[in-house]
Structure 1
Amino acid sequence: VPLKLYLEESISKCEIASIGSGTLGYSLLIPMKRLIALAENTEGIEIGSFSRSVITRSTSPSSVLIETTNEQVVEPMKKAKKTRRSEPKDRLGIYRSSNSIVEKAKLLRTTARKKGRVDIMEKLVNEALLAGELPQL
């Protein structure tokens, strides 16, 4: 059911609207004019001052800035997090040491979800075939 859109006046002049999950890289970015036109054609739009204080764009280096060119600057903390990662898990070793089919199936699912893990998936599937466990997984 479409709902009426309430848009804060202080951000109504922005060129890009970010709509979605709130997770960096998984939000839909559309032109603000297109969002307003869509809202007007469905249930309507109300533009006004709804917050107690004016919303301002953050300029701190730890925030994500969405530029009018749709470029995104990633938070420095997220970059640092990627560099702090230790060695990857020994997934084949974990598979071999697991006694439960449920644990092995979970390991296969989580490994398959990540891109760039084709080689380890091939090894895990071969291990399951050799052990005769693949039909149960």
Structure 2
Amino acid sequence: MSAVVAVVLLVVFAVVAVLLRGSDTGAIFRLSDQIAMMGVGVLLAAASMLFATPRVRADADGIEVRNVLIGRKFGWLDVLGVSFPDGASFARLELPEDEYYGLLAIQAVDRERAVEAVRALRRLHKQAWAGQR
């Protein structure tokens, strides 16, 4: 979805940049304005591609989560559980003191793939907790 949005943004801003010179608004647009318009389109397209970067990597030691720009690593013993609340858009890690950390890489729109990912994380979490007893 991010790639589609990025392409649409680039096309729209390219069309606006081309049509900018020929508009009869009374304002005078120069080549630099057209270049700036394309630059804005490129920046917005790049920003929309950031939403394609979320990632979750887990192993026996813990889970590494990268949401859009920020990444964190949690040890399994710091995580109380992995949940996917009804109506939620994405899964989350349940943390101590009623806190949670969203897992943007595991989204409801992925359906069965999201279910399998949550089950796999729960297995790893259970194994880590069982190993501590």
TM category (shorter chain) comes to under 0.3
Identify the structure with the greater helix proportion: 2
Greater share of residues in strand: 2
What TM-score does the superposition give when structure 2 sets the normalisation length? 0.26
Structure whose alpha-carbon radius of gyration is higher:
1
